[in-house]
Structure 1
Amino acid sequence: MSFQRVPGLVSVVITVYNKLPYLAECLNSLLDQTYGSWELILVDDASTDGSYEFVMNWLNGNEPLLREGKGIYAIRLPRNAGYAGAITAGMYLAKGEYIAIQDADDLSHPERLARQVRYLKNNPHLELLGTNYEVFEDGHPERRMPVYWLKYGEQIGKVYAAGGHCICHGTAMFRGTVFDRIGGHTRRIEGAEDYEFIAKIIHAGAKNVDNLREVLYYHRKHQKQRSRNYFGKSQKEQGHDA
């Protein structure tokens, strides 16, 4: 029996590894989405700071959503699989026509899912769509700063062909059939799993991705970001993705 995706459904995949201080704001930003047809798949990558326990309590506190049929699932991996393993596990569980990525320490604009779905519906040739975003220091969400490294339209394929990066991974929404066709993230380039995944999609067609110019995502700067383990100062802080 072939796998059938649910039309119009957005499967939001979040991976969590020791992100306890940021989870409430992240999850609440998803509850505020104006787009109604979404499910949340949260994969805890064997956190040790109480992140998983917090999520379970959060789910219990939002029980009415579950009664309304909203799919919110929390999975705890039995051991740490790393970012590529955790996010790919979540994508295997996603049943939506669209899959959206959300970083556990960032926030989404209430219109994010609605506007990305609308754009993908109106542009059937696109397989992945990112958005513009702003950066803020932890504790100061009101002081958001713009970024200038993103590209749009045909410029995107040229950047990736030259080995560059110009789509913020946390903003990405792509068609579930893309995952069915090429799979998810790999461990081939440690610390740059996000770059490799997007580049893999673009390789299949240089004009099949785009960015929305609207700011629909907010990236939080803090000392425990995963990218700091590989690049020191976060690339998003320097005007590049993390």
Structure 2
Amino acid sequence: MPQPLVSIVIPFKNTDTFINECIRSILNQTYRNWEAIFVDDNSKDKSYRIVENYRKSDSRIKLYRNNGNGIIEALKTAYKHSNGSYITRMDSDDLMIPIRLETMAMSLENKGKKHLAVGQVKYFRADGLSDGFARYEEWLNKLTVKGNNYSEIYKECVIPSPCWMLHREDFDACGGFNSETYPEDYDLAFRFYKAEYKCIPCDKVLLHWRDYSTRTSRTHKHYAENSFLDIKVDYFLELNYDTSRPLAIWGAGKKGKTLAKILLKKNIPFYWICDNPKKIGKHIYDQKLFNFDYLAELNNPQSIVTVANTKAQEEIINYFETQKMKSMIDYFFFC
């Protein structure tokens, strides 16, 4: 039985330092029936020429210029030229493990439609990883090994953008690359969640994820922290917010204040609670701050937690559990 064709969508811009390694990692895949669709997003370096040389020697490699500007337009351009039964994305500075395509394609073949294949990731950086990226890697892989990625989707992006695969029909059904919302990878993860595609558990590292100081996700305004909060709020209000229940914000730090401003702008009523004695009883943005005990006075509330401290989060979770409150129904961690 022939292998289904896998389309690998790869936008790139000024990555001539890394793109050779990326392409070689694709050529080394144990799964052979793939097409790699590279789209140049107005590069100024030698990236296009490098890909063109590979294209001349392997017909599975396709190369196009971006029809517009930016990563979303590049993704659209690539997808327009794709033909695969399965769709996946790759970044031009990362590396596939040789079994990545085989593992994901076989998982989808076994599970069928309405499923999302994901894989564990390993960050790497020439001068060493920061603690933040190491913690993110550990957190993400703990979710992936059980396939419960959506359970903490409001914390961070739970689907690594260069390490997912799904049926073409499912990809089209959830809007594919047609959304104009940034961050585009986080928006797509939320649309997978909205469509209720089940994540297939994976206990293998399938991608080596490169970090460096000039990565787009580190430098572009579309990937700023405020953008992440905006997208979290929009999807929370659409998918999880119960208008019949009072809403409480936990925490009045920088993220809590930003969240409050977003909700006020959208005319969403909320109660604001914290444990800072200097803020309790005061008003911020004309909203009174209450002690954490005030939550007990609210009738069946939903809570958004913006408290980042790990120990404090554990204490908050313990409190919710004593109240028999459930994650992703009664409370949501936004950090």
Using structure 1 for the length normalisation, give the TM-score.
0.79
Query: For the aligned residues, what is the CA RMSD?
Result: 2.7
Which segment is superposed worse, 175-184 or 220-229? 175-184
Following the alignment from structure 2 to structure 1, what is the Cα–Cα distance between the partners of residues 67 and 81?
16
Q: Deviations over 1:114-159 (max 9, x none)?
A: 011111111115432110010111388xxxx782122145632332
**2:95–2:208: 8 Å Cα contact kept in structure 1?**
yes
Higher relative contact order (CA 8 A, sep 6+): 1
The Cα of 1:46 is off from its aligned counterpart by 1.2
Is 1:157 the counterpart of 2:158? The answer is no
**1:130–1:169: 8 Å Cα contact kept in structure 2?**
no
Is 1:173 the counterpart of 2:161? The answer is no
| Equivalence for 1:210 | 200
The Cα of 1:57 is off from its aligned counterpart by 2.2
| Equivalence for 1:108 | 96
- List gaps (5 residues or longer) in structure 1: 1-5, 236-242
Q: Residues 135-146 of structure 1 correspond to what in structure 2 (within 5 A)?
A: 135-138=123-126
- Give the AA of the match of 2:193: I
Following the alignment from structure 1 to structure 2, what is the Cα–Cα distance between the partners of residues 84 and 127?
24
SS at match of 2:93: coil
Using structure 2 for the length normalisation, give the TM-score.
0.58
**2:66–2:73: 8 Å Cα contact kept in structure 1?**
no
Following the alignment from structure 1 to structure 2, what is the Cα–Cα distance between the partners of residues 88 and 40?
14
| Equivalence for 2:212 | 222
**2:16–2:46: 8 Å Cα contact kept in structure 1?**
yes
- Give the AA of the match of 2:6: V
Q: Deviations over 1:157-203 (max 9, x none)?
A: 3323x46432211101111112332332356433x110101211220
Picking from 38, 41, 47, the partner of 1:45 is 41
SS at match of 2:4: strand
| Equivalence for 2:115 | 127
Following the alignment from structure 1 to structure 2, what is the Cα–Cα distance between the partners of residues 44 and 154?
33
Task: Tell me how many residue pairs correspond in the alignment.
Answer: 216
| Structure in which a larger fraction of residues adopt strand | 1
Is 1:85 the counterpart of 2:77? The answer is no
Following the alignment from structure 1 to structure 2, what is the Cα–Cα distance between the partners of residues 10 and 78?
23
Q: 1:196 to 1:15 in 2, by over 3 A?
A: same
| Equivalence for 1:31 | 27
Following the alignment from structure 1 to structure 2, what is the Cα–Cα distance between the partners of residues 154 and 57?
39
**2:54–2:61: 8 Å Cα contact kept in structure 1?**
no
**1:26–1:106: 8 Å Cα contact kept in structure 2?**
yes
Picking from 65, 69, 74, the partner of 1:76 is 65
**1:15–1:87: 8 Å Cα contact kept in structure 2?**
yes
**2:52–2:63: 8 Å Cα contact kept in structure 1?**
yes
- Structure whose CA Rg is larger: 2
